[in-house]
């Protein structure tokens, strides 16, 4: 599933956040796990055109040169963060084999995020190309059996082999970070959903493979959950994103509610901003509730883990509502008791 939204105010909360600085409480990423949002870079770029996405150069080169040392440094840091991650209760209770696989996945996703967010802007695309090239060596060893060069990619090998994880979800996470280098605005909600298909949904597919429960039907439901988690994180972090030069609130929705980017830079949310956020929270909640049916199709550890993601998302969205949708004055975060209650509810009811 997916980063920060579901991050609780208590590090021991049975949340969802595996990553990215916080992650969508139900996220696997952003500073704390394999987030859903895998690319929140800075920099100002062109907005996504109404008709389509950005196709960045996907050349696989850059195996050597200045970017190689940067790649090693970034991936080493990401791997260390993954190894030392203080996973939420629901995930710490998993058997070691699952935690090891999820830690490796987090290390990769965090590496892609850091390359897209924290590396010098001039190096970001080359670094992402290098990461993709190394992933290619994992799935298609070169002559003489040359394998990956980066430790964070080598660490994926056991999970990929034992869980039959396909390459495409990892490639999509890289592509999301490439898109972040060029796209800083989304005109329509559908365009934003297209971004979530790259930045969030791949994580859910990987998690299903880790637990050996991936099916087309579950992947469809997982996509809904992951998209909702990503949206929850975006709605929590409106102010932070704006400071980084990004606006994830769709342009058409801003116009419909009479909200400008100047309004988003205010110290507190105006009535128009609150109304817009309430609308976006309802949309994310509807997606999450529809996707939550995946929990009822699972058993055992897989059920507990996925219920944790759903719980984190619901608690994050509830926290936004509890703040009266003022996401500008402070970032709303769910309390651990709410996450725990949502976890029990999702696990017991299967949705």
Which two structure tokens, joined as six digits, stand for 84?
A: 């030392």
pLDDT level of residue 235 (50, 70, 90 thresholds): very high
Which two structure tokens, joined as six digits, stand for 336?
A: 């651990």
Helix (H), strand (E) at residue 242: helix 238-243
Residue 111 has pLDDT above 50, yes or no: yes
Between 225 and 73, the more confident residue is 225
Answer whether 68's CB lies under 8 Å from 129's CB.
Answer: no
Rounded to whole angstroms, how far apart are CA atoms 278 and 25? 19
Answer whether 140's CB lies under 8 Å from 158's CB.
Answer: no
Per-residue model confidence as pLDDT tens digits over 8-45:
444 333 333 333 333 333 344 333 333 333 334 333 33
pLDDT for res 260:
98
Rounded to whole angstroms, how far apart are CA atoms 232 and 90? 20
Which two structure tokens, joined as six digits, stand for 91?
A: 């995930």
Per-residue model confidence as pLDDT tens digits over 238-253:
999 999 999 999 999 9
Answer whether 4's CB lies under 8 Å from 25's CB.
Answer: yes
Residue 56 has pLDDT above 60, yes or no: no
Q: How many CB atoms lie within 10 A of CB 44?
A: 10
Rounded to whole angstroms, how far apart are CA atoms 343 and 292? 11
Query: Distances from the Cα of 209 to the Cαs of 101, 223, 290, 307, in angstroms?
Result: 10, 14, 21, 16
Rounded to whole angstroms, how far apart are CA atoms 232 and 283? 10
pLDDT level of residue 79 (50, 70, 90 thresholds): low
Between 39 and 236, the more confident residue is 236
CATH homologous superfamily of 66-349 equals Farnesyl Diphosphate Synthase (1.10.600.10)
Q: Which of 174, 194, 175 is nearest to 109 (CA)?
A: 174
Q: What is the pTM of this model?
A: 0.81
Answer whether 157's CB lies under 8 Å from 148's CB.
Answer: yes
pLDDT level of residue 80 (50, 70, 90 thresholds): low
């Amino acid at each position: 599933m997916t980063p920060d939204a579901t991050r609780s105010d208590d590090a021991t909360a049975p949340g969802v956040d595996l990553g990215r600085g916080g992650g969508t409480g139900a996220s696997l990423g952003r500073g704390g796990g394999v987030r859903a949002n895998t690319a929140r870079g800075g920099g100002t770029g062109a907005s996504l055109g109404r008709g389509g996405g950005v196709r960045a150069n996907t050349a696989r080169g850059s195996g050597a040169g200045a970017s190689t040392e940067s790649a090693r440094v970034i991936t080493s840091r990401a791997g260390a963060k993954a190894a030392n991650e203080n996973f939420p209760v629901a995930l710490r209770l998993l058997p070691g084999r699952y935690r090891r696989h999820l830690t490796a996945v987090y290390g990769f996703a965090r590496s892609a995020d850091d390359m897209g967010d924290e590396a010098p802007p001039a190096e970001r695309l080359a670094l992402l190309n290098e990461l993709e090239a190394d992933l290619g060596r994992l799935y298609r060893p070169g002559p003489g059996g040359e394998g990956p060069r980066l430790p964070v990619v080598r660490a994926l090998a056991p999970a990929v082999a034992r869980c039959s994880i396909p390459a495409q979800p990892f490639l999509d996470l890289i592509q999301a970070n490439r898109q972040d280098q060029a796209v800083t605005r989304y005109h329509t909600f559908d365009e934003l959903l297209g971004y979530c298909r790259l930045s969030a949904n791949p994580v859910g597919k990987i998690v299903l493979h880790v637990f050996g429960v991936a099916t087309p039907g579950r992947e469809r439901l997982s996509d809904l959950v992951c998209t909702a988690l990503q949206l929850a994180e975006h709605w929590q972090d409106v102010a932070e994103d704006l400071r980084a030069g990004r606006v994830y609130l769709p342009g058409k929705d801003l116009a419909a509610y009479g909200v400008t980017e100047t309004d988003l830079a205010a110290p507190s949310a105006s009535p128009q901003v609150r109304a817009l956020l309430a609308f976006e929270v309802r949309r994310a909640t509807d997606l999450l509730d529809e996707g939550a049916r995946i929990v009822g199709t699972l058993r055992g550890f897989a059920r507990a883990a996925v219920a944790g993601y759903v719980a984190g998302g619901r608690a994050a969205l509830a926290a936004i509502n509890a703040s009266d949708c003022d996401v500008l004055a402070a970032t709303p975060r769910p309390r651990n008791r709410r996450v725990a209650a949502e976890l029990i509810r999702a696990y017991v009811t299967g949705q």
